[in-house]
Chain A
Amino acid sequence: MKRAIGLIFFCGAACFAHLPAVCLAGQISSTELINNAKEYDGKSVVYVGEAVGDVMMRGDFAWVNINDGENAIGVWLNKELAGEIKFTGSYRSKGDRLEITGVFQRNCTQHGGDMDIHAQGIRKINLGRVVSEKLDTSKRNFVFILLVVLCLVFVFVRRQK
């Protein structure tokens, strides 16, 4: 029993001792990265978010901006990884939700000092989709009501002239 308790204490202590390393390897938000950029500079991070805008191919590599709901961060990845992205976020679509594993750069020397992540791997958490737009009937009705009022006012103004 004493040995078992001792083992539990030992494991617990080991976990606490390794907590910072576990945190750095764990999922990190964009705000945390931006606000603590010095701390994470050059470290391997896991960043999750939606691919937004264009996947911008640059030779054998590509830029894709990943938005985690707080900010978007540029991710530099090779074209094979970029090819896995099917949907990017826009008015018309919900982008693929990706888990990026890569090295965070506070002032990337390769990219003119931009804050970015050089991806080593990506994992698709959710496939994006096309967002179909449904007509907002309350807006449509309001347009017609305003149009009628506008016509009445216009007729009144013309008659007075």
Chain B
Amino acid sequence: MRCSVFLKTMILKPQLQDLKNIGYYSGRIIIGISLTMLVPMVIGLLFAEINPALDFLIAAEIALLIGLILTKICFTEKDLNWMQGMVVVSLSWLAAMLVGAIPLYLSGHWGSYLDACFDAMSGFATTGLTLAQDLDHLSYAHNLWRHLIMFIGGQGIIIVALSLFTKGLSGAFKMYVGEARDERVLPNVISTSRFIWSVSIIYLILSTLVLGIIGIANGMKPVNAFFHGACIFMAAFDTGGFTPQSQNMLYYHSLSFEVVTIVIMLLGAMNFNLHYRIWTGDRREIWKNIETRTLCITIALTFLITVIGLNQVGSYPSAIIMFRKGFYQLISGHTGTGYATIYARQFVDEWGNLALVGLIIAMALGGGACSTTGGIKMLRLGIIAEALKQDVKRIILPERAVVEQRLHHLKEIFLEDKQVRAALLITVSYLVLYGIGTLAGMFYGYPFLDSLFESTSAAANVGLSCGITTPGMAAGLKLTYIVQMWAGRLEFMSVFTLIGFFVAVIKGK
């Protein structure tokens, strides 16, 4: 009783300064988002798409207006504390969804503003689930925006804003962490942001060239080939999963496209620290790193489950076809991309339960920490597996034996209980999130496995669909998936902080 009284008195109502800091930095990030809308607007003008260009001008003006008003009303020179940083991140993502959805809604290709918000969150969170209608007639400008928001969201909305800051900001690290990036590549967060952007832009240029040339060789018009190349890269490297056409990867009917996108998806699933090591010539780190090893093991195991499942139902006429279809969907699911070379209903109708479970496990696990993937992530899985191994050793070995808990992630790390606890906490949070979405799906009448598939895909920011995500889906389920995509992308802490902040506003003294 005394304890609860003590806890109640601990909740402090946020001060005006808290609100000013949150409002000011959120405003700056919204201004940043408004500036990014100029890119599709220019593309629209280049392709003589006047109405789409107006859509982006309207959205950019609204965002700029909101941003300017917020930065004016809440002007402050004070730096962010941890709570404010986390709240800014979670609110900025919601604001990005709301303003990012404006041009989509104005295009008339989304049935409602909620549908447009769904796709905007799906884009920013690099999920790839879509409620777009008549995608095959969408303008270049809107299509670019769909893929650009994946690029921005994959790198991190805050990273974009940080990259624009010319001088250091000590509160930057708090926002950087709030966006589910607890590792810095370089000592300074802003240098890290710029490194991430530099790497991504070099990959963008190279991949666009490669995919464009493949596209032309496959019979596409040069403009379309390079436009698709850029869009496909942005969605594959940021493990998003949008494509410019309604058939997803089936549109291209091309093995070379599949092979190149597998490589890009795997690059996107790699920790940016590993990219840095490769770029600085330390290639041995890739093979020593716990994330790479864990990823290889989980790909092998989940692929084995999937192949056994596919073999059981005999969906595919030959082993080569089974490998091609099974491996592509699995890598796409495991890296959290969501590219598919089969139709959504084929997962349910033709894959069988075991293969589907293999794919769901792969989706739930995700890729590397400090990468663009969603899901539990390899580092956490590696830490939990290592801790479990050491605990079993402790039981088997004599009591006096000293068991050393070590793992290699960029350097030799002695595993501490708090690291294991943190890894377990986030893993459990993900499992709960997958469960909540599954329950919601079942509440709306979908079978268990279908609901689990779609929920895992949304919460782990994958984007593969078994057919539940359609424009006709219930509004409640759309909202559930939006929350799942948002919480899953931010890895909970900033979302929990936002919830705590609102509780403090209501109940605090």
Cβ contacts under 8 Å, B245 to chain A: 52-53, 65, 72
In residues 131-155 of chain A, which contact B (Cβ within 8 Å)?
133, 135-136, 139-140, 142-143, 146-147, 149-150, 153-154
Q: Could you list some 9 contacts between A and B, CB below 8 A?
A: A52-B137, A54-B224, A56-B219, A56-B253, A65-B251, A72-B251, A142-B58, A143-B61, A150-B61
B343 contacts A115, CB within 8 Å?
Answer: yes
A147 contacts B51, CB within 8 Å?
Answer: no
Cβ contacts under 8 Å, B68 to chain A: 150, 153-154, 157
CA distance A53 to B247 in the complex (A): 11
Cβ contacts under 8 Å, A157 to chain B: 68, 71-72
How does the 8 Å CB contact mask read for B239-269 relative to A, with 1 for contact and 0 for none? Answer: 0000001110011110100000000000000
CA distance A55 to B221 in the complex (A): 9
Which single member of B72, B221, B255 contacts A112 (CB below 8 Å)?
A: B255
Q: Is B46 an interface residue (CB 8 A)?
A: no
CA distance A143 to B341 in the complex (A): 41
5 shortest interchain CB distances as A-B pairs: A56-B219, A113-B321, A146-B61, A52-B136, A57-B219
In residues 32-73 of chain A, which contact B (Cβ within 8 Å)?
34-35, 37-38, 52-58, 62-63, 65, 67, 71-72
CB B147 to nearest CB in A, in angstroms, measures: 15
Cβ contacts under 8 Å, B71 to chain A: 157
CA distance A57 to B217 in the complex (A): 9
B51 contacts A55, CB within 8 Å?
Answer: no
Q: Is B81 an interface residue (CB 8 A)?
A: no
A74 contacts B250, CB within 8 Å?
Answer: yes
CA distance A125 to B442 in the complex (A): 43
Which single member of B55, B221, B253 contacts A114 (CB below 8 Å)?
A: B253
Q: A91-B137, A133-B50 are in contact. List 10 more A-B contacts (CB 8 A).
A: A38-B349, A55-B219, A56-B219, A65-B251, A74-B250, A112-B341, A113-B341, A114-B250, A133-B48, A157-B71
Report the nearest A residue to B258, measured CB to CB.
A112
A109 contacts B317, CB within 8 Å?
Answer: yes
Cβ contacts under 8 Å, A126 to chain B: none
Q: Is A120 an interface residue (CB 8 A)?
A: no
In residues 54-101 of chain B, which contact A (Cβ within 8 Å)?
54-55, 57-58, 61-62, 64-65, 68-69, 71-72
B246 contacts A67, CB within 8 Å?
Answer: yes
Q: Is A29 an interface residue (CB 8 A)?
A: no
Cβ contacts under 8 Å, A140 to chain B: 54
Q: Is B203 an interface residue (CB 8 A)?
A: no
Which single member of A38, A57, A58, A89 contacts B137 (CB below 8 Å)?
A: A89
A74 contacts B106, CB within 8 Å?
Answer: no
Which single member of A38, A56, A112 contacts B324 (CB below 8 Å)?
A: A112
CB B295 to nearest CB in A, in angstroms, measures: 25
Main secondary structure, interface of A, reads mixed
Q: Is A3 an interface residue (CB 8 A)?
A: no
What is the interface size of chain B, counting residues whose CB is below 8 A from a CB of the partner?
51
B220 contacts A56, CB within 8 Å?
Answer: yes
Q: Is B342 an interface residue (CB 8 A)?
A: yes
CB A59 to nearest CB in B, in angstroms, measures: 10
A146 contacts B58, CB within 8 Å?
Answer: yes
Cβ contacts under 8 Å, B325 to chain A: 107, 112-113
Cβ contacts under 8 Å, B106 to chain A: 139
Q: Is A90 an interface residue (CB 8 A)?
A: yes
Which single member of B61, B136, B346 contacts A72 (CB below 8 Å)?
A: B136
Report the nearest B residue to A88, measured CB to CB.
B136
Report the nearest A residue to B245, measured CB to CB.
A53
Which single member of B58, B69, B140, B349 contacts A37 (CB below 8 Å)?
A: B349
A143 contacts B54, CB within 8 Å?
Answer: yes
Report the nearest A residue to B142, measured CB to CB.
A91
Cβ contacts under 8 Å, B137 to chain A: 52, 89-91
How does the 8 Å CB contact mask read for B338-378 relative to A, with 1 for contact and 0 for none? Answer: 00011101100110000000000000000000000000000
Report the nearest B residue to A94, measured CB to CB.
B137
B54 contacts A65, CB within 8 Å?
Answer: no
**From B51, B140, B325, residue with most partner A Cβ within 10 Å:** B51
> Known contacts being A91-B137, A146-B62, A157-B72, is A109 close to B318, with CB within 8 Å?
yes
A35 contacts B61, CB within 8 Å?
Answer: no
Which single member of B138, B250, B321, B342 contacts A91 (CB below 8 Å)?
A: B138
Q: Is A18 an interface residue (CB 8 A)?
A: no
CA distance A158 to B245 in the complex (A): 45
CA distance A113 to B62 in the complex (A): 47
Which single member of A37, A74, A109, A146 contacts B247 (CB below 8 Å)?
A: A74
B51 contacts A136, CB within 8 Å?
Answer: yes
Which single member of B48, B58, B343 contacts A71 (CB below 8 Å)?
A: B343
Q: Is B9 an interface residue (CB 8 A)?
A: no
